[in-house]
Amino acid sequence: MLHNSAPSIMSRDPVFRVALTGDELLNSARFNKGTAFTVAERKAFGLTGRLPSRVNTLDEQCERAYAQLETRDSPIRKNSFLQSLKSQNIVLYYNLLSSQAEAISDYSHLFRRSEGLYLTFTNQDSMEEDFLEQTKDRNIDLVVCSDSEAILGIGDQGGIGISSAKAVIYSLIGGVDPSQSLPVVLDVGTNNETLLNDKLYVGWPHKRVRGEEYDKFVDKFVQLVRKYFPHSLLHFEDFGVANAQRLLRRYRDSHAVFNDDIQGTGAVTLSCVMAAVGVTKSKLSQQRYIIYGAGSAGMGITRQLRDAIVSTDGVPAADATALFYLIDRHGLIKQSLGKDDIREDQQEFVRPDDEWVGVKENGNGEISLLETVKKIKPTVLIGCSTHAGAFTEEVVKAMAEGCERPIILPLSNPSRLVEVDPKDANDWTNGKALLATGSPFPPAKMPNGKEYIIAECNNALIYPGLGFGAMISKSRGMTDSMIIAGARRLASLAPALKDPDDALLPDFADAPEVNFEVAVAVAEQAVEDGGVDVTWKKEEARERVRQHLWKPVYGEYVYDEAGMK
C-alpha cells in the first residue's frame, strides 16, 4: 500500500494569467485547450467563433484521442500521431500517455521525433549563443543530454530522441514541468558506418571525436549549464563506457549531475536487494555478491551496493568492497588478467590470485561464472551482461545449494538478452529464488500453485523521483546519501515486505506515486545534508514536493494583458 494515492498527490488545479488570444492561443501547444475551453474562457480570449459549440472535458478529449491513436496500425504511424498531438496540446498529450501504462513503458522505444537543442562539434564557437537562443525567457530545471554513443539495444546513433524521451518520462512519472526541461544532443560524430554512409543522415557525418577535444567540447556545455541554470539537474544519458563514469566523476562535486545508466540502474537495483534482504531478515553486509557484466551498469550497481553497505551497516569500505566478485568477458576479474583487460574503474574490485588456487580455469587461465559460484556460494547474483542464457541450470542450482533464498536478478534487456528466464530460475530453485528482471515477464508458478510476481527492476521507478527531489531542494549536488535515501524509500514500498512470495518492487503502474515518495525522501535527505539553496526545513519536504508537481490537467485561465504565468 503506497503512502499516497494519485488524487492526494495531484490535488491543486493551477490558475494561469494568459496574454494570448484567438489563433495565437490555439496555436500555443502549452496553453491550447481545444474544445475544453469553457464558455467564459471562449468569450474572454476571443475563441467563440473559432471552436465548435460543445465544451469537452479533458477525459472526453483523451478518450477521443486514444480512439484515434488506436486506428494507427504501426508504431511509426502511432508515433506520428503522438508527435502531432504534442505540437498542438501539451496537456492532452501528457494526459493521454499518463493514462496508458503500456505507452509509458514503451515510450523510449517508440519515440523518434527530434526536438530540443543540437550542439555540434563543428559549431562550438557559437555554442553559448545557440544555448541562450534556445533557453531565452525560460526557467530550466532539467537538462537531459546525450552524445548517443551507447543507446540501449541500438548502440552508436545520432539524434536527440533518447534525451527527449527521458525528459518526457520525467514529466509523465516524476512531475517535472515539461516547459522547464531541455533535451540536448552533443553531436561529436558517429562510428556507425551505416550512418556515415547514409546520404540522408542529418547528424555530423564524421568519426567520433575523442580525447582532449571531446573533453573540451563537453566541458564548454557543462559550464554553460552551471552558469545560467546553477540549480538545474544535469542528466547524462547513454554515454559510452569510456566516458560515462569519467564524466560523472569529473562533475558531480561541482553541479547536480546524474547518470541514469550508472546511478539510476544502481539505485533501483539497490532497492531490489534491500527488499530481498528484508524478506530474508538479513543485512546487505551479510551477502556475497556476483556481478555478471562489469560495464557501466554493472559498475554502477556494484558501487551503489558497496556504498550502501558502508552507509547503512557501518562497514569499512575495504570490507564492503571485498564482498563483490566481478565477472566480464575474461571471466572473474582477478590480478593475473592482462593489464589491458582491467579498466581503471574496476581496479579496486580485482580479486587476489591466491584466493583461487586449485579452482578450475579454462585454457586462457580464466575462471568461469560456474566455478566462481561453486567457490564463493553467493547469495546475490546480478546479471547486466546482455549474455542471454548465461545463468544456466547448473549455475542456478549450484547457487541454490549455498543459500536458503538465492537473490537472482537477471537485469539485461530487452528480454531476449536476459541471463535467465525467471520461470526457469524459479523452477530450478523449487520456488526459493527471489527474482527481479530488467524487462517485463509473466508471473512464475510456485510449487504450492501460487503465482510469483516477477518484479520489473525498471529505472523509471526511481530516477524521476531522484531528479525531482534534487530539483525541489535546489541541491548543489546529487550525493550518495540522497540516492541511498531514495532507494531505501522505494524498497520500503515493496509488496514482498508484507508477503515474502510477492514482488520485490512496486508495480510499474504505481510509478507516479512511487516516485513522489522517492522525491520526498531525496529532498528530506538533501536538506538534512545541508548542501541546498532553500530555507525550508526537512519536515516541509513532502508539502514542497506536492506543491511543485506538474500535472497534465487544464488550469483556469485569466486574461492578463501584462503577461503570462
pLDDT of 213-270, one tens digit each?
999 999 999 999 999 999 999 999 989 888 998 999 999 999 999 999 899 999 999 9
pLDDT band at 159 (very low <50, low <70, confident <90, very high): low
Segment 454-506, tens digit of pLDDT: 999 999 999 999 999 999 999 999 999 999 999 999 999 999 999 998 999 99
Q: Is 533 annotated as a binding residue?
A: no
What is the model's pLDDT at position 150? Answer: 76
What is the model's pLDDT at position 3? Answer: 39
pLDDT top residue among 83 and 176? 176
User: Is a pLDDT exceeding 90 seen at residue 363?
Assistant: no
What is the model's pLDDT at position 295? Answer: 87
What is the model's pLDDT at position 74? Answer: 81
What is the model's pLDDT at position 4? Answer: 36
Torsion angle of alpha carbons 264, 270, 271, 276, nearest 10°?
150
Task: Give the residue-averaged pLDDT of 367-372.
Answer: 95
- For 491, counting Cβ atoms within 10 Å of its Cβ (0-12 exposed, 13-18 middle, 19+ buried), the class is buried
How far apart (Å, rounded) are the C-alpha atoms in residues 164 and 29?
16
Task: Give the residue-averaged pLDDT of 416-445.
Answer: 95
The answer to whether 521 and 485 are in contact (CB under 8 A) is: yes
Is beta strand 331-332 parallel, antiparallel or unpaired with respect to 324-328? antiparallel
β-sheet bridge partners, residue 436 = 455
pLDDT top residue among 375 and 155? 375
pLDDT band at 2 (very low <50, low <70, confident <90, very high): very low
What is the model's pLDDT at position 7? Answer: 33
Q: Is 237 annotated as a binding residue?
A: yes
User: Is a pLDDT exceeding 90 seen at residue 10?
Assistant: no
Task: Give the residue-averaged pLDDT of 65-81.
Answer: 85
User: Is a pLDDT exceeding 70 seen at residue 336?
Assistant: yes
User: Is a pLDDT exceeding 80 seen at residue 388?
Assistant: yes
How far apart (Å, rounded) are the C-alpha atoms in residues 462 and 12?
24
Lowest mean pLDDT among 4-18, 55-69, 252-266: 4-18
What is the model's pLDDT at position 103? Answer: 47
pLDDT band at 23 (very low <50, low <70, confident <90, very high): very high
User: Is a pLDDT exceeding 90 seen at residue 369?
Assistant: yes
User: Is a pLDDT exceeding 90 seen at residue 22?
Assistant: yes
What is the model's pLDDT at position 30? Answer: 86
What is the model's pLDDT at position 510? Answer: 92
Q: Is 458 annotated as a binding residue?
A: yes
Q: How far apart are the first and last CA of the chain?
A: 36
Q: Could you give the percent of the chain with pLDDT greater than 70?
A: 92
Segment 199-223, tens digit of pLDDT: 888 888 999 999 999 999 999 999 9
Question: 141: helix, coil or strand?
Answer: coil
pLDDT top residue among 470 and 8? 470
Q: Is 238 annotated as a binding residue?
A: yes
β-sheet bridge partners, residue 456 = 437
Q: What is the DSSP string of 15-78?
A: EEEE---HHHHHT-TTT--GGG--HHHHHHTT-GGGS-SPPPPHHHHHHHHHHHHHT--SHHHH
Q: Which residue has the cell 500521431?
A: 81
The answer to whether 187 and 207 are in contact (CB under 8 A) is: no
What is the model's pLDDT at position 155? Answer: 57
What is the model's pLDDT at position 371? Answer: 96
Segment 95-143, tens digit of pLDDT: 888 776 454 444 444 444 446 899 999 999 999 999 999 999 899 999 9
